[in-house]
Amino acid sequence: MGLTEVAAGVFELRLPIPFEDGLVNVFLFKSGQEVDLLDCGMNSEDSLTAIHRALEQLGARRLRRLVVTHIHPDHYGAAGALAGEGLADLYMHRLEVPLVHPRYVELEHLVEEVRRYLLVHGVPEDEAEVLSNSQRALSQVVKPADPSVQLDGAELIEMGAHVLRVEWTPGHSPGHICLHEAAAGLLFAGDHILPDLSPNIGLHPQSTPDPLHDYLDGLRRMAALEPRLVLPAHGRPFTGVKQRVDALVSHHARRLDQVLEIVGREAKSGWQVALDLWGPRENLYEKRLALQEGLAHLQALAVEGRVTKLVMPGSARWRSS
């Protein structure tokens, strides 16, 4: 896979995502013999070979810094192979830092927490068992690294010959960041704004408490920056951020109305709502994402006072207000 120069001294490299049959775009910023990298793909042989070949092609003597938009495996997976002692400095948002260990290193606690969480939201016991264990596979393509710098958002970071501002855009992940270069009108959007897909926004034990509102707020803030070109982590670079943001915002508005319609006078579990919304799913990973996405919409509706959320030990239910 080759390098494409997307701006002066900025190169896009497309890396394979083994079991999703997709590609993730990472960006190399060159300055002299040093290169900085935004996102790093999964920890797989193919992916790392492509990165090393790209560095060679750019005449890089070393990788100076690695910035990750968030800790999902396709963005952060190879961090431990590229950053750390004697390697690149890793920069990430501080809300991503505590997610790493329970997710990729010591999974038992999180698997159990997710299992209980699924039961609370109405998932039958046998399915909860399988679904909570489905995250184990992901830990195999991630080699974690400790950050050298923890970001809050609003920092300026030098990437190659460019200076970019960190924009904290929670929702898809609590510490998701975009990088913005005002002078050139570039927005490196990670998974926050994709051209073809609506990124998964889910409520789960590692999410923020109201991820959908967080996400929508971030979309509006990024649109207000009026970038000339958006460089997403999946799909092709695109212009017209305002139209894309409008489309994503109205997609979620429609979904909120649909969820509101499904929730009736009678209290329902998140699982029932998700089944009504999407119908039964075969793929386990999709099932969990569907539940979490349904819950994010229910939570947003509850925050707005449009549905009522009822909780007891061992159960959470939703009904119309």
Residues that bind Zn ion in the complex, under the rule CB under 5 A: 72, 191
Q: Shortest Cβ distance from residue 12 to Zn ion (Å)?
A: 17
Torsion sign over Cα 88, 92, 98, 102: negative
Q: Shortest Cβ distance from residue 69 to Zn ion (Å)?
A: 8
Residue with tokens 């890396």: 15
Contact between 34 and 133 (Cβ < 8 Å): no
The amino acid occupying position 276 is: D
Smallest CA-to-CA distance from 192 within 163, 227, 160 is with 227
Q: Shortest Cβ distance from residue 262 to Zn ion (Å)?
A: 27
Q: Shortest Cβ distance from residue 299 to Zn ion (Å)?
A: 19
Q: Using the minimum distance from each CB to Zn ion, give the nearer residue, 172 or 287.
A: 172
Q: Using the minimum distance from each CB to Zn ion, give the nearer residue, 69 or 299.
A: 69
Q: Shortest Cβ distance from residue 172 to Zn ion (Å)?
A: 6
**Residue 113: exposed, middle, or buried by beta-carbon count in 10 A (0-12, 13-18, 19+)?**
middle
Q: Shortest Cβ distance from residue 71 to Zn ion (Å)?
A: 9
Distance CA 295, CA 202 (A): 7
Q: Using the minimum distance from each CB to Zn ion, give the nearer residue, 181 or 191.
A: 191
> Angle at the Cα of 191 (from 128 to 129), degrees rounded to 5?
5
Contact between 46 and 103 (Cβ < 8 Å): no
Residue with tokens 């190659």: 160
Q: Using the minimum distance from each CB to Zn ion, give the nearer residue, 167 or 191.
A: 191
Residue 96: partners with Cβ closer than 8 Å, 6 or more residues away? 68, 70, 71, 76, 173, 174, 175, 176
Q: What is the DSSP letter of 230?
A: E
Torsion sign over Cα 172, 72, 239, 168: positive
Q: Using the minimum distance from each CB to Zn ion, give the nearer residue, 160 or 171.
A: 171
Q: Using the minimum distance from each CB to Zn ion, give the nearer residue, 192 or 297.
A: 192
Distance CA 132, CA 103 (A): 12
Q: Shortest Cβ distance from residue 191 to Zn ion (Å)?
A: 4
Q: Using the minimum distance from each CB to Zn ion, give the nearer residue, 135 or 320.
A: 135
Q: Shortest Cβ distance from residue 103 to Zn ion (Å)?
A: 12
Q: Using the minimum distance from each CB to Zn ion, give the nearer residue, 72 or 288.
A: 72
Contact between 27 and 125 (Cβ < 8 Å): no
Distance from first CA to last CA of the chain, Å, rounded? 53
Strands 34-38 vs 22-31: parallel, antiparallel or unpaired: antiparallel
